[in-house]
Amino acid sequence: MPIKTIALLGALDTKGVEYRFVKECVEKRGFRTLVINVGVIAEPAFPPDVSADAVARAGGGELALLREKQDRGDALAVMSRGAAILLSRLHGERSFDGVLAMGGTGGTSIACAAMRELPLGVPKVMVSTVAGGDVSGYVGIKDIIMIPSIVDVAGLNRISREVFSRAAAVICGLVENQTPPGEDKPIVVASMFGNTTSAVDRANRTLEKHGFETLVFHCTGMGGRTMEGLIESGVISGVLDITTTEWADELVGGVLSAGPHRLEAAAKRGVPSVVAPGCLDMVNFWAPSTIPEKFKVRKFYPHNPNVTLMRTNVEENQKLGEILAAKLNLSVGPLSVVLPLQGLSMIDAPGGPFWWPEADDALFASLKKNLRKEIPVLELDCNINDPPFADECARQLLAHMAAASGTSKPARNPPAVQLSA
C-alpha cells in the first residue's frame, strides 16, 4: 500500500517550532508530510516543500513586497488566495491525502480559505484559537474539523504538546480510514425541521423505495446553505424542499437564516423540485432573554430551553409569499408547489399554539398571486405532517424526476459529491 501524505499548511516563521513538532508526530506514524509555508514576516524555521513566495505569487503578490509594505490585511488576503489556489492544485495532482493546519485568527483564516476549496471527504483538520466559538465564517459549508488549541499556538508546553500530538493522530486516522462499500444511488435532498419531521420521514421512505438515496438537511441556516451548495454541485437528482422556514428568519431577523440566496440553486439549475412553505409560521430565537425588545408582545412557543419560536404574523406572511414566488419564478426545471391548508407545522395545526388561519391564508394568497402561472400549485386540505401531504409531495417529485430523465426509473452511478465553497 502506498504511503499516504499529510499536507501541513501554516506560518513557519512564527509557528515553526510547533509545525516541526507536528511534522515529526505525523512522520513517526508512518506518513509523509508536504509542508506549505504561508508565513510572511520572516524566514521559515525549517525549509518547507512549498515556499511562502510560491504561495504569494499564486495569490497575485510578491513576498518581498508584502514584507516591505507590512500591511497585515493585504498580506492575509494575498496568502489566502494563494493558499487556496495551490492547495486545490496540489490536491488535483494527488500530492496529499489530508491537510492539517494550526494558528490564531489570521492563520485560521488563511488555512480554512484553502481547505474550503477541497472536495467533501478530503480530511481537513484545523487547530485554532477560535475553535469552540462561532466558526461558521471560517468553515463555511465544508467538512473542516475544528480543534480548540486551548492555549495560544505559541510554543510547546505540557498542554500544547498534548493538543498538537492528538491533532496529528486525528488527521492520520482520518486519512487511514476506509469508507465501507455501499450502493451509490441517485441523490435527493430534503429540508427538515423538528416540526416537519413526520412529513419528511414518510416522503423519504417512499423515495427510498423507488431507488433514491435521501440526504436530509436540518434548517438551521447552515443546513440550508449546505443543501444549496450541494445542489449547485450538480450531483442532485431531485429536491424535496418542504421546510423553507429559514426565509422567515432571514426576513424577520431570527437566528437561523440561510441568507438571501436560499431557494435559488435548484431553480437556476433546473433540478426537479417540490417546494412547500413548511415552518414559515415560525421565527427562531435562542433563550427568551435573547429576544429583541421590539418582539416582546408577539406570540412565542418554547421549543426547548435554548430555542424559542415566534409566530409570524399576517404582514410577514404576505411578504414571505412574495419572496418565495420571486425565488421559484427563477425555475427552469420541473417544479410543484404544495400548500398544506391545515397548517405549516406540528404546532400550526387546528387547536395548536401557532394555529392562525388568517396568517397562513395571507401566505398562500401572496404566493399564488406572485407565482408564475405555469408553475403548478396543489392545495391539500391537511396539515403538513399528515400522511396525504407527504405522499403527494413524494409522488410529485418522482414524476418530475422521471420526466426529467426520460424514464420511470432513477439513473444509476451518480458522480462524486463536491460542495462549492
Q: Give residue 411's pLDDT band: very low, low, confident or very high (50, 70, 90).
A: very low
Residue 354 lies in a domain: yes
Q: Classify strands 213-218 and 282-285 as parallel, antiparallel or unpaired.
A: unpaired
pLDDT tens readout for residues 224-280: 999 999 999 899 999 999 999 999 999 999 999 999 999 999 999 999 999 999 999
Residue 415 lies in a domain: no
Report the phi/psi class of residue 140: left, alpha or beta, with left for phi > 0 and alpha for psi in -120 to 50.
left
Query: φ and ψ at 266, to 5 degrees?
Result: -65, -40
Q: How many structural domains does the chain have?
A: 2
pLDDT tens readout for residues 120-140: 999 999 999 999 899 999 999
The single residue listed with the C-alpha cell 509523509 is 32
Q: Classify strands 307-311 and 300-304 as parallel, antiparallel or unpaired.
A: antiparallel
The verdict on 198 and 62 lying in the same domain is no
Domain, as residue range, for 380: 187-405
pLDDT of residue 183: 80
The single residue listed with the C-alpha cell 450531483 is 235
Q: Give residue 407's pLDDT band: very low, low, confident or very high (50, 70, 90).
A: low
The verdict on 72 and 199 lying in the same domain is no
The verdict on 259 and 168 lying in the same domain is no
The verdict on 265 and 396 lying in the same domain is yes
Q: Mean pLDDT of all residues in the chain?
A: 95
The verdict on 161 and 233 lying in the same domain is no
The verdict on 94 and 161 lying in the same domain is yes
pLDDT of residue 48: 98
pLDDT of residue 421: 47
Residue 181 lies in a domain: no
Residues linked to residue 99 through DSSP beta bridges, in sequence order = 7, 124
Contact 363, 317 (CB under 8 A): yes
Residue 418 lies in a domain: no
pLDDT of residue 15: 97
Residue 416 lies in a domain: no
The verdict on 161 and 226 lying in the same domain is no
Residue 295 lies in a domain: yes
Residue 367 lies in a domain: yes
| 397 pLDDT above the threshold of 80 | yes
Name the residue among 152, 145, 247 with its Cα closest to residue 193: 247
% of the chain beyond a pLDDT of 70: 96
The verdict on 160 and 308 lying in the same domain is no
The verdict on 100 and 226 lying in the same domain is no
The verdict on 214 and 127 lying in the same domain is no
* Distance from C-alpha of 344 to C-alpha of 366, rounded to nearest angstrom: 15
Last residue of a domain, one of 141, 156, 176: 176
Q: Give residue 59's pLDDT band: very low, low, confident or very high (50, 70, 90).
A: very high
The verdict on 317 and 384 lying in the same domain is yes
pLDDT of residue 126: 98
The verdict on 239 and 333 lying in the same domain is yes
| Predicted TM-score (pTM) of this structure | 0.85
pLDDT of residue 413: 37
Q: Give residue 340's pLDDT band: very low, low, confident or very high (50, 70, 90).
A: very high
% of the chain beyond a pLDDT of 90: 93
The single residue listed with the C-alpha cell 513557519 is 12
